Amino acid sequence: MDTQNAINETQSSYDRISELKAFDEGKLGVKGLVDAGIKKIPNMFIRPLEDRLKCFGTSSENISVPIIDFAYLNDENNDQTAKIAKEIIMASKEWGFFQVINHGVPEELLEKMIDQCQMFHEQDAETKKKFYTRDFQSKTVYFFSNHDLYKSKAACWRDTFYINARHTSGEVDPKELPPICKDVILEYINPMHKLGDRVLMLISIGLGLEPKCLGNMAKGTKSWSIANNYYLACPEPELTMGTDAHVDTSFITILLQDSIGGLQVLHENKWVNIEPVTGGLIMITNDMIKGACHRVIAKSARPRLSVAFFFSGVFSSEKIYGPIKELTSEDNPPIYRKFSTEEIIKSFFSKSLEEVGDNLDYFKLKYHGDGN
């Protein structure tokens, strides 16, 4: 019997729900499986053969997402500001991704954020278990593996430590944070706000809007969340994913990754590797310019860690977002209907990760046939 037939036979005969519950109730995540010394991944992580076969290929060309240098960005130099704003718009329209260097966030802080967040995942299991939950709505600080564990066709090979300040007006109680990484997280938040505001300003200028237009829409980007993803070395990386292909639902995402690599963006129907740049931060503009589909492949190398800082708007049913009037016309009609951050975030958590792209289609006007 060949390997694939053996996998198919095993998957057809096992009790998936029981395996998911046992994994979930153990509260140890993927790290617990690796610590147990497994040589083959459990069935719950194996992607269906049809999904593995239909994947786009990885680009063999020597291309990469644009790298934009903020070194000469100066509020007093309008020409340079306009030049960088134009670069961001071009990168956002073509890729939905770009990397920023010389952004003003100290490299020492970035390194410390990676190191101490990794320490959270590698600390004593009983200490980490205290943060494990699937209550994603009322909890602010929590640890879990796969938010869509019971909805996806296959679980992804990663654990996540999450801080959700969307429904607390951007506030987080330091006492709720794990002692092992509390100080660096509190130090990290303000530089991300400042950089996020700066990027929104540049996008506004590049789109021909008032500089504060998008920043005002996001209310100063004070509503935020952090996903700290830990990708363990995988014994069978060809059978699973680190993170399924998806499109983010935030205004913008600022992503910090370590030197391991594995992040890919879909560009012209090919997966392109996002190679780590020392001191660089990745910007994902999501559907503001282009909804960038991206994923993380599983690897057999040492663990990989990333920190995604999401600017999501105020988590409220009262604040309504919609197409920007200055950018729409009869010749360029709006694509999306109006919606609240609460509606889109709840919709995100109600589906599996691979359905998130289709989830955004739900907010398109032609889906509903009206402008509500």
The distance from CA 272 to its chain's CA centroid, rounded to whole angstroms, is 17
CA dist., res. 302 & res. 180, Å (int): 22
CA dist., res. 147 & res. 151, Å (int): 9
For the cut 90, the answer to whether the pLDDT of residue 280 exceeds it is yes
Instruction: Quickly state the pLDDT bin for 368 (edges 50, 70, 90).
Output: very low
Alpha-helical (H) ranges within the chain are: 3-13, 16-26, 29-35, 49-53, 78-94, 107-122, 125-129, 182-206, 213-217, 341-349, 356-361, 365-368
For the cut 50, the answer to whether the pLDDT of residue 85 exceeds it is yes
Sequence-distant (6+) residues with CB within 8 A of 340 are: 316, 317, 318, 319, 320, 321
More confident residue, 37 or 317: 37
Average pLDDT, the chain: 84
CA dist., res. 225 & res. 164, Å (int): 5
CA dist., res. 138 & res. 152, Å (int): 23
The predicted-structure confidence for 212-260, as pLDDT tens digits, reads as follows 877 776 654 468 999 999 999 999 999 999 999 988 877 789 999 999 9
Instruction: Quickly state the pLDDT bin for 209 (edges 50, 70, 90).
Output: confident
Q: What is the pLDDT of residue 81?
A: 92
Residue 359 has, within 13 A of its CA and on its CB side, a CA count of 21
The predicted-structure confidence for 284-328, as pLDDT tens digits, reads as follows 876 555 567 889 999 988 899 999 999 875 555 455 555 555 555
Q: What is the pLDDT of residue 288?
A: 54
Q: What is the pLDDT of residue 1?
A: 47
Which domains does the chain possess? 16-363 (2.60.120.330)
Sequence-distant (6+) residues with CB within 8 A of 6 are: none
CA dihedral defined by 284, 286, 291, 294, rounded to 10 degrees? 40
Q: What is the pLDDT of residue 346?
A: 59
Could you give the maximum distance between any two Cα atoms of the chain, in Å?
70
For the cut 70, the answer to whether the pLDDT of residue 158 exceeds it is yes
3-class DSSP state for residue 342?
Answer: helix
Stated pTM of the model: 0.82
Q: What is the pLDDT of residue 167?
A: 78
The predicted-structure confidence for 86-110, as pLDDT tens digits, reads as follows 999 999 989 989 999 999 999 999 9
Q: What is the pLDDT of residue 252?
A: 87
Q: What is the pLDDT of residue 350?
A: 57
The distance from CA 16 to its chain's CA centroid, rounded to whole angstroms, is 27
3-class DSSP state for residue 86?
Answer: helix
Whether the CB-CB separation of 294 and 245 falls below 8 Å is answered with yes
For the cut 50, the answer to whether the pLDDT of residue 367 exceeds it is no
For the cut 80, the answer to whether the pLDDT of residue 364 exceeds it is no
* Range among 146-160, 289-303, 330-344 rated most confident: 146-160
CA dist., res. 15 & res. 29, Å (int): 19
More confident residue, 353 or 43: 43
